[in-house]
Structure 1
Amino acid sequence: MKFSLGPLQYCWDKPAVEAFYQAAAKSQIPLIYLGETVCSKRRKLRFGDYLALAQLLRDAGKSVVLSTLALVESRSELAELKKQLDNGEFLIEANDMGTVALANQLKLPFVCGPSINNYNITSLQKMASWGMQRFVMPVDLSKQWLATIIEQQPQFEIEVLGYGYLPLAHSARCFTARHHGLNKDNCETICANHPHGLLSQTLEHQPLLRLNGIQTQSAACMDLRDEIPQMEQLGVDWFRVSPDSLESVAFTEALIDGERSVSKHQLTCNGYWHDTAGMTLSHN
């Protein structure tokens, strides 16, 4: 099993994004995803900027995938999506079924991202017939479910989001803008002020969710590091780290080196993997 670095989920300034991928280029991480997956209003980087970073990573010997929006709503977003599909160099991670349809029309191979709901082998086989090269399992599914898929000896790679805040849902409305009394059309890209999202709590002050623009994330960080030996036995091809800081590069390198005890987040969960409530932490 190998390790990958997923796309940035948060709205960072351009220098921070460039510094992150420059560090990734110097790392030993073999597979790196990049691109805006949450909101097209985050215009800190343009398509040309992402393409230049992708070329930097490729020249450093990395396998590079351009990740696309999980929610395509407008003609401008569709035009941007077509630019990504027509890049001519890099594989695409499709996070919306519209993107899958376009990739199929263009006969382009693609990675099926975690935002697309694939819950049975029949849908996965159909995706594979359309050009899916790799399947990133939806975060709410379990190891038991995945085992039944792998038993079918699929002809595509399997990737699991093993560490990071879980992308749970996307909405046409922007929760961060609403929190600040702004509407989505005039949001002032306020999510840039929250580089790790906005933590939402229950009335009892228990962490519940993390608001990241139009995306809702888990409050706790998914941590499946203890499951790595089991994943290897199961036949998982890639363990994905979803980055939330520059330190995520060094953290992923530590995993590659076999280090499993590096402390990163105090509030963690692994419930979905164990087929129970996602926010729970099982020690089984």
Structure 2
Amino acid sequence: MADTKTLKLTMGPVPYLWSGEKWRDFYYRVAESGHVDAVTLGEVVCSKRDHFTRPFIPDVVERLQQSGKSVALASLALVTMERELGATRRLASGPALVEANDLSALRLLAGRPHLVGPFVNVYNGATARLLAKKGATRICLGPELPAASLASIIAGAPELDYEIIAFGRLPLAISARCAHARAKGHSKDNCQFVCGDEPDGLDVDTLDGQPFLTINGVQTMSRHCQVLLGDLPALAAMGITHLRLSPQDCDMAEVAAIYASVRDGLVSPDEGLAKLKQVYAGAPFSNGFIHGQPGMNWVAA
């Protein structure tokens, strides 16, 4: 059986609109966690939200680095306006390690070390090798990939580190239009930041009243929260090096502690799952994608 203790924990960017103070305090709490090895932060979903958190970024980065954590700044997942391209240029030309979530950022970062986020489609080893030649050092693979595809990609470019979203609602799509604003009776240009009313996303149902997806501003997310506690040995065996914990509106430091306990063999996956349900009851759990099933399915360990 693979040694799961080699798996590192990454705290990803907050996908939702939180107040600047809540966002800052969230990462201060992460800085205090001895279980999180690396942090990727920044606004990925909507550039209009950026001004809420931008003033706090220098202090947050300093606090995280002082606690011994590797820190990267994420680019937008969808660049559609000149001001967004300008922000991407500034990010790419700065001194920080950058996670590219858009092809425009990849072009700007070519030739210097960088990370590749889950919004960049990497579906085969040849693509991973090309990204490595351009300077990528770690790729967070897409959440919809089954285990066989993950293993094939990693085998095709084993020189890279690989990350997977091991906890959190999954990013499924992103649009130039804002369904969240529309659902609240607003246009995107006059959204009044209504996405901030749902700090864990806005759940939507089908016309038949069945639970379906979650919208978060211009982003569509899974209704279910991906939980891969029972899959850690398989992930380690195939070459995954980092487990990304995608922030939800709960005690994510405790989520990291649970994952670390299961990873280190201190508690069983079932015990960890029971604890996780106490910490986060905001969404049902799933792990279908990695098992080649519909993403909303739950496959017992």
Q: In which range does the TM-score fall when normalised by the shorter chain? A: over 0.9
Kindly provide the amino acid, as one letter, of the partner of residue 277 in structure 1: P
99, 106, 130: which one aligns with 1:100: 106
Distance 1:158 1:241 in 2: 14
Per the normalisation by structure 2, the TM-score is 0.89
93, 111, 124: which one aligns with 1:120: 124
Aligned 8 A contact 1:20 1:246 in 2: no
Correspondence for 2:8: 2
Over residues 128-161 of structure 1, what are the superposed CA-to-partner deviations in whole Å (9 max), with x where a residue is unaligned?
A: 1101100111011011111122333521100010
185, 188, 191: which one aligns with 1:187: 191
49, 71, 75: which one aligns with 1:68: 75
Matched, 1:79 2:86: yes
Correspondence for 2:176: 172
Distance 2:50 2:162 in 1: 31
1:275 deviates by: 1.0
Aligned 8 A contact 1:172 1:214 in 2: yes
Aligned 8 A contact 2:147 2:290 in 1: yes
Aligned 8 A contact 1:8 1:242 in 2: yes
Distance 2:56 2:20 in 1: 9
Correspondence for 1:14: 20
1:48 deviates by: 4.6
43, 49, 63: which one aligns with 2:56: 49
Correspondence for 1:133: 137
Correspondence for 1:242: 246
1:44 deviates by: 4.4
Distance 1:203 1:16 in 2: 35
Distance 2:51 2:249 in 1: 17
Q: 1:102 to 1:168 in 2, by over 3 A?
A: same
SS of aligned partner of 1:71? coil
| Matches for 1:28-39 after TM superposition, within 5 Å | 28=34, 29-39=36-46
Alignment root-mean-square deviation, CA? 1.5
Runs of 5+ consecutive residues of structure 1 not aligned to the other structure = none
1:9 deviates by: 0.3
| Matches for 1:193-272 after TM superposition, within 5 Å | 193-258=197-262, 259=267, 260-261=272-273, 262=275, 263=277, 264-265=280-281, 267-272=284-289
**More helix, by proportion:** 2
Moved more, 215-224 or 270-279: 270-279
Distance 1:247 1:135 in 2: 26
Q: 1:171 to 1:31 in 2, by over 3 A?
A: same
Moved more, 73-82 or 4-13: 73-82
1:123 deviates by: 1.1
Distance 1:47 1:23 in 2: 18
Equivalenced residue count is: 281
Kindly provide the amino acid, as one letter, of the partner of residue 117 in structure 1: N
Aligned 8 A contact 1:7 1:243 in 2: yes
1:278 deviates by: 1.2
Correspondence for 2:3: none
Moved more, 171-180 or 250-259: 250-259
Over residues 215-253 of structure 1, what are the superposed CA-to-partner deviations in whole Å (9 max), with x where a residue is unaligned?
A: 000001111111012212222101111011250122112
Aligned 8 A contact 2:126 2:156 in 1: no
Over residues 19-61 of structure 1, what are the superposed CA-to-partner deviations in whole Å (9 max), with x where a residue is unaligned?
A: 1011011111111111000001114435453233112211111
Over residues 69-94 of structure 1, what are the superposed CA-to-partner deviations in whole Å (9 max), with x where a residue is unaligned?
A: 10011111112122222231x21111
Kindly provide the amino acid, as one letter, of the partner of residue 280 in structure 1: N
Kindly provide the amino acid, as one letter, of the partner of residue 9 in structure 1: P
Give aligned-pair identity as a percent.
33
Kindly provide the amino acid, as one letter, of the partner of residue 113 in structure 1: G
Aligned 8 A contact 1:12 1:44 in 2: no
Runs of 5+ consecutive residues of structure 2 not aligned to the other structure = 1-6
SS of aligned partner of 2:169? strand
SS of aligned partner of 2:26? helix
